[in-house]
Amino acid sequence: TLRQSGRASPATISAYGHDLFAWSRFSQQRGQTEIAQIDRSSLRAYLMAERSRGVAIRSLRRHFAALRALYRHLQHDAPELRNPVQGLAMPRAEQRLPDWLTVDQARVLMQPTSTPGAAEDQKDFIRLRDQLILELLYSSALRVSELAGLNLGDLDYHGGTVRVLGKGHKERIVPVGQPAWAALRAYLALRPAMSAGEETALFINQRGQRLSVRSIQIRVKKLGETRLGQALHPHTLRHSAASHLLQSSGDLRAVQEFLGHAGIGTTAIYTHMDYQQLAQVYDQAHPRSRRDVQDTKHFEEKA
């Protein structure tokens, strides 16, 4: 049903199937082989058992969502069926700040290992492609799935934007920075010679076919190790772009649109600040800052 509606990604549908299988197995072990036998205490016992074996709160919330979707589907065909999910409290989410790079780290990461020039061979192609991957992930705060799904027709050269298909098949237009466009032009100069047939994907592998999400993750991880000395995930660049944009502009609504978040609550997690910025604001504004304490000490010495 979710697959037909198009409201969930293939990854979400697969995860829901895994969660419901685990729940079914747990229920059968308790002797509950009929759906009508399941009550609220049964579901609560299942969630507690999952938590006790180390399942994260975030995963438990997904289990809860899978059960809610299942009963919604079942009640569509059998309205009389009791829904034990209704009224059951969802596990509270853990508040965890995302990983992100400082501005200086991002600057180092984006520095090409060699000066862009005429691409001549496969090594040049990979170098230019990987540089463009980093630039777009950071410049436009794309999800890795959005990046992998980009097609040549999604580029708007005149407007300096790119069209992406986000979660829930929602389309949005995002700006692309000048360094990213420079990397794009260098990459596109070589792409036709590497493309297989009528491949429309922007990012292709050495066989000329669309680059997979997993391949992008591997490339970004390697680039992080080479340039920063640390493993790097594509989502870290999205988090970093959001953090840096919010710190510079302070416009939470604009960042929400930029990221394609359905609700502003998701975007609000980026309102954290790094220590240097916090210390600077504190020294400038707090009545008990270091500046004011020093001024007080100077006054006392003169007195």
The token pair that represents 245 in the structure block: 């944009």
Of these residues, 40, 61, 68, 167, which one is catalytic?
167
Catalytic, 261? Answer yes
Distance between CA atoms of residues 126 and 248, nearest Å: 33
Phi-psi category of residue 120: left, alpha or beta, with phi > 0 → left and psi -120 to 50 → alpha = alpha
φ, ψ for residue 42, nearest 5 deg: -65, -45
Distance between CA atoms of residues 30 and 206, nearest Å: 52
Angle 197-218-146 from CA coordinates, rounded to 5°: 60
Catalytic, 167? Answer yes
Distance between CA atoms of residues 193 and 173, nearest Å: 29
Of these residues, 127, 191, 219, 235, which one is catalytic?
235
Angle 153-255-171 from CA coordinates, rounded to 5°: 30
Of these residues, 129, 143, 191, 210, which one is catalytic?
143
* 191 close to 158: Cβ distance less than 8 angstroms: no
Closest CA to 220 of 142, 274, 276: 142
DSSP conformational letter for 84: T
Which DSSP string corresponds to 248-296?
Answer: HH--HHHHHHHHT-SSHHHHGGGG---HHHHHHHHHHH-TTSHHHHHHH
* 110 close to 134: Cβ distance less than 8 angstroms: yes
Of these residues, 16, 138, 187, 270, which one is catalytic?
270
Catalytic, 221? Answer no
Of these residues, 191, 219, 238, 244, which one is catalytic?
238
What length does the chain have? 303
The token pair that represents 172 in the structure block: 């949005």
Active-site amino acid positions: 143, 167, 235, 238, 261, 270
